[in-house]
Structure 1
């Protein structure tokens, strides 16, 4: 009896062998799609307060955590935009107090936080006008800086959550701004500016009247100086991009000072540094002095260099 050979198991297409007998491999498993990253919550829309003024105004801002930007523009518009960051920022925005009446704009942190902020600045800036040299021993600016920042840490909460303020005021307005944690930037022409920060940079584009810029930790920058200015930082640099005329008094505890003087400006210098270099690149041949353009500079650095140089118009 003839018994047929067993051909073995039969497989469908794609298994065992390809046409012509070539062996094949089973198809690889389908690649799984990469997991989608968790989406960040959409930022909260800004809260906008709009007013109208007859001319320059007086502005006073007390803020705990977040950046403050102020622009001086031609016209009558007064506008305050609150831009929250994170849930804590939204809660802070809901508690801010904003009032405009009689040519006075007030933007205040909640009463409980504003009280702690005032205590912080009292510790930090008491005597900063000259009763103690930055970087000195007991009771110095640096000692006050440490105590103030410890208070501020208990007050400000998470730095990642905060409330940024964008403000528009008429040209030649007078501005007083105090911030715990955050940068302060003013752009345009102000009649007076008094800017104080505990931790953050302070910047003023133009000084045509009087200005005081102070920060505990951060840099201080002035664009054009044509008036009277005081610039002080505990830890950070000071930079004056274009000093045309007026009076400048600047101090750093730890940090460099750079002052660029416009060509043709007669300049009187009083410079001192505890540990660092002094460099002056002003010569009588750097242009013809303008009799109506004079500048007085007093600069002190505890640890850091001081450089004064010319800039051409």
Structure 2
């Protein structure tokens, strides 16, 4: 395991791999504003120990990848989708199982639509539909909307930034489980200290979309597993249900009381599901499409 800087189209992307490169490849795509550290190392090792070659990477403006001046991103959301292809190319991978969380799940959907030959299967965690079809989905929780509207932070003060992101992580975790503030603060601190310019991650909030796919989600042909928590304050469960309904043959794994993201309490469940799904013959949860409930953590 080692970080590796790749360069393509004038962009530097920091990647890190786990496991045997000869094993089936799994590309982990994090959400906007988040570096690859949010795919925690022990989680990646669990997947690798299950016989997968795992790659995580920093988006532009996060971690050690190429950065731009805050407020002036020189790229679009479509470029972030293409960056996933650049990571696969740099590692010599024709096609991978792609696991995306939050906006990373949207990037994974767009990757499957625009570069179908590069995607062997999809796992979409805490995500929503990347291609709208006119149907309304529920908004974030009132608590989330209130936080987004009122939170203030001095981006020049690292300690203030850390406290802000810990509060945000607490909110995303939902209100049904205990929150490990100590672990969250340690992760956020490492993220802040590792970044070239942590304030630049805010560029993801103002990105233009760039090109949009012409195809609908119903044209995704690869096996798809949707994983969603019942206490997700950003994308309520209906978002995950809608994804599973719109992608043909998709399965839905519901995580009881889970918030937004990949929580440590769910690692064993999520890893088992991902390993089963990427084994090539259906899910560890079921051999047929449908909805499945996880056991309580």
Structure with more helix by fraction: 2
Structure with more strand by fraction: 1
Q: Does TM-score exceed 0.5, indicating one fold?
A: no
Instruction: Pick the structure with greater CA Rg.
Output: 1
- TM-score, normalised relative to structure 2: 0.28
- Relative contact order: is structure 1 or structure 2 higher (C-alpha 8 Å, sep ≥ 6)? 2
- TM-score, normalised relative to structure 1: 0.26
